Structure 1
């Protein structure tokens, strides 16, 4: 067993890890959420204008899904190199690729200018975005988790999740301001490009912060003792396949709920209820602001009471709440809509806030980057990638939100059941002494 000195990094390194992962995660998710919001508000009109509004939105969301589908490929590539050559080097590559692709979207000609080539180019750039993000989350989570003290790991690692809220807040905030200040024609003509071009600044800031980050103690031990895996993706699939499935089960339902609350509701509020697009954006902005605090709060609670318990409570609470969501949104009241979204996001926070620590704790150090990234991103395919598309399809087929509610509740039930079947990992040692474990660096209990 390691001593407290070896269990955590010096305070300055811990602060740099939290700051670097938080800022980097915020900037990466800014790019990604920006695309999701633009899919609901802009891309259906400028890249798929020959279709009716609902079909155009469906096609725009399909390009949104492409980014999710390739994320496991990015996770496998990033995990392979992150477990072999280090977490930090991979994270520098992901932020450059993500930011550059987002700037290119802001420079794309529209369908009216070059025809079908425009949406095709959009899909190609979206693929690059998805590959980059596929390797981003796992690296950011490990940079904190592998040097955090065990009794505060949930709280500190939750700042990777907070980055998602900051990115959402920045992206929806910029779209909200621009769509409020500009006319509809001006916004669709050139105003939507400004947030995408802003990623040029994002890349520079992200690079500066990440260059100052140091490698994690766990990887240093692997490297120093020659224990790094030569094929970590293969190893994690062979040695911990059930943990990959557990991560998918815990993750997917929370993703589905989130993207229905944030992405699908933007379209539903604007196109189905006929309300100004700023109503949905305002609800998303306030929700993202709230989650800056609820993610760390629930993660800190999990440091005391466990990751599993908080996840089960969040999933069951969300199931109870979902039948009230759309009736409240259908009132058309901005205040009521905001309340409905916030209430749902509280339950989501209980699930999502603890995930970074729990997922990292489930995997052995020698293939932890691969396992955490693959599990997280594979869940994204069945979760966030298809949720807005499925919700739009269910609404179109039934002309009712009831099937959408049932869909989300089934996904949340899977979260609760999977959490019940997943071991508690709170307080385990992620950096055991290599000398005491000569054949492998094992940072998790036996599966």
Structure 2
């Protein structure tokens, strides 16, 4: 391996931050950033269509709104490459703070944005731009957050501690949905559409301050500090990643596609489908989703801890495999129109999701060497989001509208599940990998 050093970039000091403080700072920041993401997802499914994308055909209007939701996922790989590069060059901690500020300010600006009725086509254009900035910021968030935990954690509990960060999206979802639901309950439908919807977006500026305060109190990863002292940073981590880890990138991306698709089926598409097709009340749907995601979040660290004992691979295979088998029973229960059936369908889905998602934080980081780890995890996580999450609500809405029935939904999700399962099966176990080893040809693939 060719070593490179930088002039003018000091080596980080060896971290003294207790692991519980690192976990708290990473988890809080991730929860706040996913608050921004899911707030937009809820709004795009429920209210952005008439406000920013008016059209004679309600389905066309909803599709345009969901398309703006997908823009973030196009931006995320760009952010992953940029922030991943600097995460591997100057450290994980700095990226954690920059990404939080970018996302928070973009979300705050959405709350100030005039609607289509006020400024015409400029309104959706500005909305899409701000959504792009959200995605760009989040592109660097996940990899930096899970890596700074994994690289601080004791090896025997790495899966557990890194997995705790994956509760962040559950907290962000519950927080954003709670604020959105509260506004729905407090304001009349007219006032909510006129200005009440802005309040959850404007609150993000307060959350940014909280996240920054916590993240400023932690120090750089000791594993990254060792890499700097050894002069092992890459001049261009992106090129080194694809030179030494091409199959890990490909298989890791494929493995995560199903995870992304399932979560956004749950958080965005089921909300849209349940209200517009089945006819459930919006408030009731939001309460059900919050209850289910709370259970899922509680199970994530349980499965993450089990991965320290039994391995990342076996838990991931079980989660994806069971979720894939659940697709047809799940959709049948949803289509019964029963709230009980809907709740059971989504609850079982998210239990299987947690089985996969819990070990994934450690699993991804263990696939790559330290000098390219931030870039690798960022690219895998965010490219899989484009393929799995960005287009899922859009594709499912279009397929159901074209078919006039829900049968394309389980078919589409099953196909994605089989793809991810094949990719996970091609990966070997990684739980005993030494993160301080920056090998260029790690034996992690069969």
TM-score category, normalised to shorter length: over 0.9
Question: Following superposition of structure 1 onto structure 2, how do residues 91-170 of structure 1 map, counting pairs within 5 Å?
Answer: 91-170=96-175
TM-score normalised to structure 2 length: 0.94
Contact persistence 1:361–1:443 (CA under 8 A): no
Question: Is the counterpart of residue 18 in structure 1 residue 26 in structure 2?
Answer: no
Whole-angstrom CA distance in 2 between matches of 1:347 and 1:418: 18
Question: Following superposition of structure 1 onto structure 2, how do residues 337-348 of structure 1 map, counting pairs within 5 Å?
Answer: 337-348=342-353
User: Once the 2 structures are TM-superposed, how far is the Cα of residue 95 of structure 1 from its aligned partner?
Assistant: 0.3
| Alignment counterpart, residue 35 of structure 1, candidates 34, 37, 40 | 40
| Alignment counterpart, residue 238 of structure 2, candidates 229, 233, 242 | 233
Whole-angstrom CA distance in 2 between matches of 1:282 and 1:40: 15
User: Once the 2 structures are TM-superposed, how far is the Cα of residue 388 of structure 1 from its aligned partner?
Assistant: 0.4
Question: Following superposition of structure 1 onto structure 2, how do residues 7-406 of structure 1 map, counting pairs within 5 Å?
Answer: 12-406=17-411
The one-character-per-residue Cα deviations of 1:324-360 (angstroms, maximum 9, x if unpaired) are: 1222122322232122111110111111111110000
| Alignment counterpart, residue 427 of structure 1, candidates 426, 429, 432 | 432
User: Once the 2 structures are TM-superposed, how far is the Cα of residue 446 of structure 1 from its aligned partner?
Assistant: 5.4
User: Once the 2 structures are TM-superposed, how far is the Cα of residue 442 of structure 1 from its aligned partner?
Assistant: 6.4
Distance 1:393 1:12, change over 3 A: same
Whole-angstrom CA distance in 1 between matches of 2:315 and 2:185: 38
Whole-angstrom CA distance in 1 between matches of 2:440 and 2:25: 26
The one-character-per-residue Cα deviations of 1:295-317 (angstroms, maximum 9, x if unpaired) are: 11111111111111111111111
Contact persistence 2:110–2:130 (CA under 8 A): yes
Whole-angstrom CA distance in 1 between matches of 2:205 and 2:26: 19
Distance 1:153 1:51, change over 3 A: farther
Moved more, 95-104 or 411-420: 411-420
Gaps of 5+ in 2: 1-13
Whole-angstrom CA distance in 2 between matches of 1:192 and 1:40: 13
Contact persistence 2:321–2:421 (CA under 8 A): yes
Contact persistence 2:430–2:444 (CA under 8 A): no
Moved more, 334-343 or 36-45: 334-343
The one-character-per-residue Cα deviations of 1:61-93 (angstroms, maximum 9, x if unpaired) are: 111111101111100000111101111111111
User: Partner residue of 1:437?
Assistant: none
Secondary structure in 1 matching 2:47: helix
Contact persistence 2:367–2:444 (CA under 8 A): no
TM-score normalised to structure 1 length: 0.94
The one-character-per-residue Cα deviations of 1:71-121 (angstroms, maximum 9, x if unpaired) are: 111000001111011111111110000000000000000011111110000
Contact persistence 1:34–1:196 (CA under 8 A): yes
CA RMSD, Structure 1 to Structure 2 (Å): 1.5
Contact persistence 2:428–2:444 (CA under 8 A): no
Whole-angstrom CA distance in 2 between matches of 1:159 and 1:10: 20
Contact persistence 1:222–1:441 (CA under 8 A): no
User: Partner residue of 1:3?
Assistant: none
Contact persistence 1:316–1:416 (CA under 8 A): yes
Structure 1 runs, 4 residues or longer, greater than 3 Å off: 9-12, 440-447
